[in-house]
């Protein structure tokens, strides 16, 4: 398969970026999207040109590092998949593919397709610790948890913190990310101890970092590679309100 790639190139955070076009040829349909970029970079290096900077780590849909806007969609043309889980068979032979970094004020571009998602780390840090006894293996049945609660908690915990929710939201809201983190602990008795403090601290940090407000468009849920439900945002709102009323 052959493709024309329109890729956002930006020297550094201070430079103004622009799209540049590249051709990649004889790409197997079973090549992953990131492998296709590897092939392009190999060609660029052999031509003595600067390779395209892009983020990646696990390449298995686990770490959330591969964060690209592909043809206007976060993580490209696949539902429930990260960029590294997209294969070139998803595109038409001969297609022109537009590749951009996340576009969000809270995620400034560092270089080319790499953005700084440190804002999510700061929100996580604001969430703080969980009071659990460590060191020894706990008895699996010591704290009974209803299956439905455990399932909901695990669904929320699937968040990989990739940033697609905020980058997709027209308001630049990080509510789905914060909701997933708060909700995954709020559904478990172990997470209740610091529940009120966590909800308030994470929401306050999100606001401080300049993320926008949620207006329930549902775009975050539609583009989340882990298909996390906006029902968790409703839970975050309940947790936050209850914590404020306690105050
Ligand atoms: S590289 Fe880890 S999720 Fe894509």
Which atom of ligand 1 has the smallest separation from the CA of 84? Answer: 4
Check if 156 has its Cβ closer than 6 Å to any atom of ligand 1: no
Hey, is 4 helix, strand or coil?
Answer: strand
DSSP 152-191: HHHHHHT----SHHHHHSTT---HHHHHHHHHHHHTSHHH
158 lines ligand 1 (CB under 6 A): no
Question: In this model, does residue 170 exceed pLDDT 80?
Answer: yes
Complete DSSP assignment for 221-237: HHH-TT---THHHHHHH
* C-alpha–C-alpha distance, residues 26 and 20, integer Å: 20
Compute the Cα dihedral for 215, 221, 222, 224 and give only its sign: positive
Q: Is the CB of 62 under 6 A from ligand 1?
A: yes
Distance from Cα 81 to the centre of ligand 1, integer Å: 10
This prediction's pTM: 0.91
Q: What are phi and psi of 74, to 5 degrees?
A: -65, 125
Percent of the chain with pLDDT over 70: 100
The chain-wide mean pLDDT, for the chain, equals 94
Q: Measured between alpha carbons, how far is residue 120 from residues 96, 171, 176, 183, 217 in Å?
A: 32, 16, 12, 16, 21
Mutate to test the pocket of ligand 1, among 58, 70, 78 (most ligand atoms within 8 A of CB): 58
Question: Does 82 sit in the ligand 1 pocket, CB within 6 Å?
Answer: yes
Q: Which residues contact 133 (CB under 8 A, 6 or more apart)?
A: none
pLDDT at 134 over 80: no
**Atom 3 of ligand 1, residue of closest alpha carbon:** 61
Element (H, E) at 124: helix 118-127
Strands (E), the chain: 3-9, 18-24, 69-70, 73-74, 96-100, 109-111, 114-115
Is 168 exposed, middle or buried, given 0-12, 13-18 or 19+ CB atoms closer than 10 A? buried
Ligand 1 mutation pick, 33, 54, 55, 66, max ligand atoms within 8 A of CB: 66
| Phi, psi (rounded to 5 degrees) for 65 | -75, -35
**Nearest atom (ligand 1) to Cα of 57:** 1
Residue 247's pLDDT band (cuts 50, 70, 90): confident
Instruction: Tokens 């308001």: give the residue.
Output: 171
Residue 143 has pLDDT above 90, yes or no: no
Cα(33) to centroid(ligand 1), Å: 11
| The predicted structure's pLDDT at residue 56 | 95
**Quick one: which atom of ligand 1 is closest to the CA of 58?**
2
- CA 82 to centroid of ligand 1, rounded, Å: 7
Decide whether any atom of ligand 1 lies within 6 Å of the 66 Cβ. Answer: yes
Using the mean position of ligand 1's atoms as its centre, give its distance from the Cα of residue 197 in Å: 31
Ligand 1 pocket, 64 CB below 6 A?
yes
pLDDT digits (tens, 9 = 90+) for 59-82: 999 999 998 999 999 999 989 999
Q: What is the dihedral of CA 93, 96, 101, 105, to 10 degrees?
A: -130
Interval 24-38: pLDDT, tens: 999 999 999 999 999
32 close to ligand 1 (CB < 6 Angstrom): no
Neighbour tally for 15: CB within 10 Å: 11
**Mean pLDDT throughout 96-123?**
96
């Amino acid at each position: 398969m052959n493709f024309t790639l329109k890729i956002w190139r930006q020297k550094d955070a201070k430079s103004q970026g622009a799209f540049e076009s590249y051709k990649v040829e004889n790409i197997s349909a079973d090549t992953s999207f990131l492998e296709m970029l590897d092939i392009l970079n190999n060609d660029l290096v052999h031509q003595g040109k600067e390779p395209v900077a892009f983020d990646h780590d696990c390449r298995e849909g686990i770490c959330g590092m591969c964060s690209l806007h592909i043809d206007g969609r976060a993580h490209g043309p696949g539902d429930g998949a990260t960029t590294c889980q997209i294969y070139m068979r998803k595109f038409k032979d001969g297609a022109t593919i537009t590749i951009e970094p996340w576009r969000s004020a809270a995620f400034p571009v560092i270089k080319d397709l790499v953005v700084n998602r440190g804002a999510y780390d700061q929100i996580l840090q604001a969430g703080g610790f969980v009071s659990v006894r460590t060191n020894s293996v706990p008895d699996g049945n010591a704290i009974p948890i209803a299956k439905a609660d455990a399932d909901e908690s695990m669904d929320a915990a699937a968040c990989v913190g990739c940033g697609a929710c905020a980058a997709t939201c027209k308001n630049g809201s990080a509510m789905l990310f914060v909701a997933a983190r708060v909700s995954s602990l709020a559904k478990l008795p172990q997470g209740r101890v610091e529940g009120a403090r966590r909800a308030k601290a994470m929401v306050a940090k999100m606001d401080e970092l300049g993320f926008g407000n949620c207006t329930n468009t549902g775009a975050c849920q539609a583009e989340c590679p882990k298909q996390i439900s906006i029902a968790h945002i409703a839970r975050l709102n309940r947790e936050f309100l209850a914590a404020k009323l306690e105050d």
